[in-house]
Chain A
Amino acid sequence: MARSKTTLPVWLRRVSQSAFLLLFLYFFLQAVYHPINQAGRGVDFFFQLDPLVLLTSWLASHKIAAGLSLSLLTLVVTLLAGRWFCGWVCPFGTLHHLISSWRSSRVKDKLTTGGYSRWQKSKYYVLFALLVACVLGLNLSGWFDPISFFYRSMATIVYPMTNDAVKSVFTWIYQTDPGVGPLKVTAVSEPAYEVLRRNFLAASQPHFYGMTLLVLFFSAVLFLNLYRARFWCRYVCPLGALLGVAGKNPLVQIKQNQEVCNDCRLCVADCQGGANPDSPGGWKPSECVYCWNCHSACPHHGIVFSVYVPGGKK
């Protein structure tokens, strides 16, 4: 087992992922029906950043939503620098990354679960099928766009279940009022519950019907991260595919020092995108999510990412 030193770019990436995931959850909680204060809370920020949402809604409705122009920024950044959105911003990607870190940590297993696979091409077919369906009037981005699918799963499955569980536990404590003599559990649980109720819980228990398929799909997608790292991001995500196409010739590229490389393949074991960081000339920019794990994993400091000016030394 190689020593793992976590380099600065990896720490920065983790901070960024955490911040955007927390921001996503914050906006999610903010988007409650509030008769008094509706407008201008920016709760659709992540949808605004998402170029696939812009593209699919345009194809399906033949109208361009003006509010979605922020997503062009995402496209431009990807065109110039690659799929940094996937590695540093996307909250769904962060969730997959988290669950992937629970897979077997033996290097041999990681080479299987983490290495590049031809099947990663499947997300381009998903993208194609999604766009064709949109042109024909069937917008399935609610199931395949990562922001939409994540939001929908949170709103219809995770949040109602969590809300119900939390309320049930605290209400049970309140109604049964356990304690030893004058020391009651409610002295602690009630103030804690008030904080939760005012900031996180729903005013009335949300309940949705017909969620079985969504539950199965969402659970499957999450569990498959144990089988292959970042399963959704590599094999399914049409946004990843779109950004992969946009990021085919980025200005920020991997630089492998062949003189120090001994083919230990530790960079591959930790690679999130499945981009062949060990292969000279074989690095796949459209699979790379710029997580910098390869930079951190290499015991010989053999990998770095730098800006390449077209026409300059490669």
Chain B
Amino acid sequence: MAECSRRRFLHTCAMAGAALKLGPLALEAATAPGPALSIAHFRTSPQAPEAIAEEAQRLTQEAINGLGGMGHFINRGDVVWIKPNIGWNRRPEQAATTNPDVVAALVSMCYAAGAKRVIVSDNSCNAAPPSFAHSGIQQAAQKAGADCFILDEGRFRKTPMQGKVLQSWEVYGDVLGVNKLINVPIVKHHSLCKATLGMKNLMGVVGGERNRFHQDLSNTVVDLASFIKPTLVVMDAVRVLTANGPVGGNLADVQRKDTVAAGTDQVAVDAFGATLLGLKPQDVGYIAEANTRKLGTMAFETLKPRRIEL
């Protein structure tokens, strides 16, 4: 498919987005023949930094393989936006941002599957330069060959979303030419909505006065997730933040869960992530709402997830 016509296709989708419920990041549906959810878990919990890095990489690879491999999601010539959590000026050990080695592993896998360009970026809440640097994601992504850059605040375009509460919002423009988006959240406690997982991580794709989302997270987050519908969700639970999230900071609030989950049903992945924090999926407002709207299923066990023990 020529680059030109794909652009036009995306543009048309943006215009007709309402009726089709597709977004400007009109993600071509993945045809994963395997299970819709795969959970990789490390039996041990190594402490040495190099060992943790290796663990994160292996977990990511196995989780994706459990879904049938990256080749089922990424085609030759794709432009992929890997969207980790780079929201906060924190170090990896503080579990406020996505594990950099998980991100790097995904970058390598995308290139191996033939991606033309892999972008790693996020609309940070804290100042972007220190967040990108201290999270370790900038270096790890660049080392793996990704295009990691700070988003430009002038490039958010008001886009119709036709959600339940969000009619339109400033979404990062289609200037990136992206056709696949991989959402890579980290599992964290959230002081307002109990947990911040994958669907809420999509807030990093929008701009404008995002703080207003917090007035009704149950609906705004689901409107957002319905609009964007990522190709794939890879949930980092190597370390999780159990308290004082989403910003965190205190190492005592961090727990090792040594898990990475991957799936195409963003509600199911979020539901699994909630259980890692000791929560019931239905107790998290936006998971229940997404389930009601049939965006996915929060009864993730019914998807018969493939569990991989390493």
Contacts and interface: CB of A to CB of B under 8 A. Distances in A.
Interface in B134-172: 134, 138-139, 149-150, 152, 154-155, 157
A174 B133 contact: no
B155 to A, nearest CB: 6
Interface stretch (A29-37, A63-71, A148-156, A267-275): A29-37
Contacts of A190: 175
A167 B153 CA distance: 10
Contacts of B175: 174, 186, 190
Contacts of A171: 152, 154-155
Task: Indicate the member of B128, B139, B155, B157 with the most A CB atoms within 10 Å.
Answer: B155
A198 interface: yes
A170 B134 contact: no
B174 to A, nearest CB: 11
A204 B127 CA distance: 9
A197 interface: yes
A198 B128 contact: no
Contacts of B139: 36
B68 interface: no
A204 B154 contact: no
Interface residues of A, number: 15
Contacts of A167: 154
Contacts of B69: none
A36 B133 contact: yes
Interface string A171-211: 10011000000000010001000000110000110000000
B129 A174 contact: no
Contacts of B154: 167, 170-171, 174-175
A36 B173 CA distance: 28
Give the secondary structure class of B's interface. Answer: helix
Contact of A34 (B128, B129, B149, B155): B129
Give the secondary structure class of A's interface. Answer: helix
Interface in B93-133: 127-130, 133
A203 B150 contact: yes
A185 to B, nearest CB: 13
A35 B136 CA distance: 11
A174 B155 CA distance: 7
A33 B152 contact: no
Nearest to B155: A174
A101 to B, nearest CB: 37
Interface in A7-35: 33-35
A35 B129 contact: yes
Nearest to A191: B175
Interface string A35-69: 11000000000000000000000000000000000
Given A174-B155, A174-B173, A190-B175, A35 B150 contact: no
A36 B138 contact: yes
Contacts of A186: 175
Given A197-B152, A203-B150, A175 B157 contact: yes
B157 A35 contact: no
A204 B130 CA distance: 12
A171 B152 CA distance: 9
Contacts of B149: 198
Contacts of A204: 127-129
A33 B157 contact: no
A163 to B, nearest CB: 12
B133 A35 contact: yes
Nearest to A203: B129
Given A197-B152, A198-B149, 9 more contacts: A33-B129, A35-B130, A36-B133, A36-B139, A170-B154, A171-B154, A171-B155, A174-B154, A190-B175
Give 7 closest A-B pairs by Cβ, nearest first: A171-B154, A35-B133, A36-B133, A35-B130, A203-B129, A203-B150, A190-B175
Interface of B: 127-130, 133-134, 138-139, 149-150, 152, 154-155, 157, 173, 175
8 contacts: A34-B129, A35-B130, A36-B133, A36-B138, A36-B139, A167-B154, A171-B155, A174-B154
